[in-house]
């Protein structure tokens, strides 16, 4: 495993003196004019515990997509969506390693289910709230600030983006330490692991055990502004529509669709008894 991590970390962005910055930033910097405060910079310092960070990467992690689409901040051209993609992958890998090592009695399906419960939107938003991440999000003036700061979707995205930033700036070891402090050692971790399986996994298990075609998810509709979209997703098995759901993230809409499908299947199974 150690050799594997060494290979992974060799692909990380170089962390040199040139791209590791102090906490000083010019008053006319785009991030200051976008609403960044010294309080947020201090927050990042204390949260990570690093003597110096690549500040632009961490601030991108806090930048909601509404900032990019706001005419008042034309100099901000990147939100935290790309960092969320990276952080999601890093988080999946590290949680998978933890579960593999600490739950040796669990089969592959149980490990997958437990990982899915830990890294879903609701759980990640809870972890984000525990570190008061929402208070430091950069949000466009034209967006609903209060709604975004308390949104499960925005908080989960920012939490994953923060993990992506730590990985880029400090590597896999620091990302692992952060996840240990704020997820694995979290008071609700064991409760989350013990919770009911996520609906997408349950639906896959059902179709496999009944020798049915695998569930297929497809987007039926995208509604709303670019920074505040709602996705409606349906799930089918062969030509049969099983359920549909709506949410601000596709994977959450898929969970709602799978939930509706499992509720329908359970009801039909009970009626058929």
Positions marked catalytic: 88, 160
- Is 133 within 8 Å of 102 (Cβ atoms)? no
Determine the Cα–Cα distance for residues 54 and 192; give it in Å rounded to an integer.
33
CA dihedral 82, 85, 90, 96 (to 10 degrees): 170
C-alpha dist (Å) from residue 84 to 70, 91, 214, 240: 20, 10, 28, 33
The CA R_g of the chain, rounded to the nearest whole Å, is 20
- Neighbouring CB atoms inside 10 A of 265's CB total 18
Count, in order, helices (H) and strands (E) of the chain: 14, 3
């Amino acid at each position: 495993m150690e050799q594997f991590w060494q290979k992974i970390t060799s692909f990380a962005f170089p962390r040199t003196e040139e791209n590791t910055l102090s906490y000083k930033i010019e008053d006319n910097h785009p991030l200051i004019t976008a609403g960044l405060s010294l309080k947020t910079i201090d927050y990042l310092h204390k949260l990570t515990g690093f003597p110096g960070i690549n500040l632009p990467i961490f601030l991108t992690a806090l930048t909601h997509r509404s900032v990019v689409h706001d005419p008042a901040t034309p100099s901000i051209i990147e939100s935290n969506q790309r960092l969320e993609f990276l952080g999601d992958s890093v988080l999946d890998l590290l949680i998978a390693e933890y579960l593999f090592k600490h739950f040796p009695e669990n089969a592959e399906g149980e490990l997958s289910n437990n990982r899915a419960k830990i890294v879903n939107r609701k759980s990640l938003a809870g972890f984000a709230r525990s570190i008061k991440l929402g208070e430091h999000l950069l949000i466009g003036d034209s967006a609903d600030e209060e709604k975004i700061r308390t949104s499960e979707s925005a908080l989960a995205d920012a939490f994953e983006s923060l993990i992506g930033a730590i990985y880029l700036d400090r590597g896999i070891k620091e990302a692992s330490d952060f996840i240990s402090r704020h997820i694995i050692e979290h008071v609700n971790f064991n409760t989350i692991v013990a919770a009911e399986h996520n609906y997408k996994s349950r639906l896959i298990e059902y179709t496999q055990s009944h020798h049915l075609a695998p569930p297929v998810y497809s987007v039926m509709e995208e509604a709303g502004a670019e920074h505040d979209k709602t996705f409606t997703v349906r799930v089918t098995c062969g030509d049969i529509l099983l359920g549909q759901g709506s949410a601000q993230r596709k994977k959450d809409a898929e969970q709602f669709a799978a939930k509706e499908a499992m509720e329908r299947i359970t009801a039909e199974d009970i009626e058929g008894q």
